[in-house]
Amino acid sequence: MVNMAKELNPLRHSCSHVMADAVKRLFPDVKLGIGPAIEDGFYYDFDKKEPFTPEDLVSIESEMKKIVRQYLEFKKEEISKEEALKLFKKEPYKIELINNLEAGTVFIYRHGGFVDLCKGPHVKSTEKIKAFKLLNVAGAYWHGIETNPMLQRIYGTCFETKKGLEEFLRLREEAKKRDHRRLGKELDLFSIHEDVGPGLVFFHPKGALLRKVIEDYLKTAHLRRGYELVVGPHILKSDIWITSGHYEYYKENMYIFKVDKEEYAIKPMNCPAHMLVYKSRIRSYKDLPIRYFELGDVYRKEKSGVLHGLLRVRGFTQDDAHIFCLPSQVEGEIKDVIGFVMDTMKEFGFNDYKVGLSTRPPQYIGSLQMWECATDALKKALESGNMDYEINEGEGAFYGPKIDIMVKDALGRPWQCATIQADFALPERFNLVFISKEGKKERPVMLHRVILGSIERFIGMLIEHYRGAFPVWLSPVQAVVIPITDRVHDYADEVLRALQGDDIRAEIDKRNEKLQYKIRERELQKVPYMLILGDREKETGTVSIRARTEGNIGTMKLEEFLKRVKSEAENKTLVKSY
């Protein structure tokens, strides 16, 4: 599959150099950091005493247009480190980068009078840069280390055509309307309290209901597919994390503390607990595969600068499972998990996706032979299923390669959800065995996998995909009963009891407010159905229905409405994402 973002990298990287050139022309005292191409565009880091203002961005963009119109050629040169140090003697961040290079030579790029430390690639000249826009300014620590200076990062984007840029900006504005942080507050789903702890989520009643619906679905789906439910403790002694390798490779992301002079860690992963359950008794080859599933709460020490609503938090729940199987069962189990992922995503309204295969990282556990076997197993499962995939070199977990399935939302944005990891290393570290047909002890293969991933992140994704207007089966409140006058309050209570007795999530609104005010408020809360009750409805035993997607749909018997809502919920009827 062609990655269009990567195809645009040379263009965007070139545009970042033009932006740095413009900044230096307008603010000569500014010191330069780095300026790479990224997924949606590019950025450049600057050390400037005063903050960049919105007016500054307008001026910088105007200066960039002047530079582009000069049709300046991007020229690559290779020079010695000594020459580079002289060339960048007034740029402290560039000097640091040069001094950290092991090679004796340095690559630079020039366009006009501007020169930057860079390997490229770039487009041929500024003539190719035709459609760009500066987006915003943010703070960024040098090298991402909090003890380093805080620089100002200007973000921008660039496309080959004006049409491409306009579509990107349109989608960006739409994404702002869908921002789950704003909608989460408006719909009263969740909150995060910085004074209590950043990255820790408080689900409000409606958010907790949404979460329950998702978790109930997951438990049922796993039981139907032959998984067994397990529950592990939230803390384990550090010894177990040393055995697993997390202590060595993941310690900086773990919360570690002492109890009675012994060291413990709050779990960042669920796999050690599941391995201990497996190891609790002797296993036969006839028992395999064993599939353990847990909605496991984990905690990770994320830096405050990367926390983002529900999408990046410090405490979250994974729909985590570990499959212990024979080597001969690995390919089939992986294919079954991929099918599970696709079926589940379809239920939630996602039909477009892309797949990546992440290979051995620089730091890893286990032998090279183990990694080759694990990677081959993942490849065979993908290829036998005729699935297109990209190779992500060096991005696997430290204990095994993985398949990542990215689903695309209503705006075409990719979201990381499902992950499948083949692990030959941890079963050896924990001495996991089964008794073979020949009566010998042999090693199982362990597959780590999640379907939705982080439940918190998936809820944030759902909010943005549906713009808060969930399909009936997911809606925290499926119907609200609105009596027009006090005279029908008793009938409204009767209708509410009937709804709740049929497991329909319903509320009643008896406030002394105008009907149109109540209707408008519930429309903003994106409730699928409103049942308007007056004297006529009470006399006839009917309900007047207003649907979120259709408006007023007339009057019907309560039994008929119950049948309609239950059918939508049970069939998981999807709505067009707003």
List residues with catalytic annotation: 271, 300, 318, 320, 322, 402, 448
Contacts of 340 (CB under 8 A, 6+ apart): 221, 225, 451
Dihedral sign (CA 323, 271, 305, 191): positive
- Separation of alpha carbons 151 and 516, rounded Å: 51
Entry field: residues in the chain: 578
User: CA 146: distance to chain centroid?
Assistant: 24
Q: How many CB atoms lie within 10 A of CB 312?
A: 18
Query: Which residue is it, tokens 């200007």?
Result: 154
Cα within 13 Å of Cα(188), Cβ side: 11
**What is the Cα Rg of the chain in Å?**
28
Termini Cα distance of the chain? 28
Q: Is 45 helix (H, G, I), strand (E, B) or coil?
A: strand
Name the token pair of 322.
């570990």
C-alpha angle 488-492-496 in degrees, rounded to nearest 5: 175
Cβ-contact 390, 1 below 8 angstroms? yes
DSSP secondary structure string for all residues of 488-536: GHHHHHHHHHHHHHTT--EEE---SS-HHHHHHHHHHTT-SEEEEE-HH
- Separation of alpha carbons 514 and 361, rounded Å: 62
The residues that bridge with 545 in the sheet, in sequence order, are 531, 554
Phi-psi sector, 110: left (phi>0), alpha (psi -120 to 50), beta: beta
User: CA 464: distance to chain centroid?
Assistant: 12
Task: List strand residue ranges (DSSP E) for 290-397, in order.
Answer: 290-299, 315-325, 353-358, 390-392
The residues that bridge with 420 in the sheet, in sequence order, are 403, 449
C-alpha angle 577-315-204 in degrees, rounded to nearest 5: 55
Name the token pair of 80.
């010695």
- Separation of alpha carbons 223 and 228, rounded Å: 6
Contacts of 517 (CB under 8 A, 6+ apart): none
Cα within 13 Å of Cα(6), Cβ side: 5
The residues that bridge with 140 in the sheet, in sequence order, are 151
Closest C-alpha to 246, from 307, 318, 301: 301
Cβ-contact 200, 192 below 8 angstroms? yes
The residues that bridge with 125 in the sheet, in sequence order, are 73
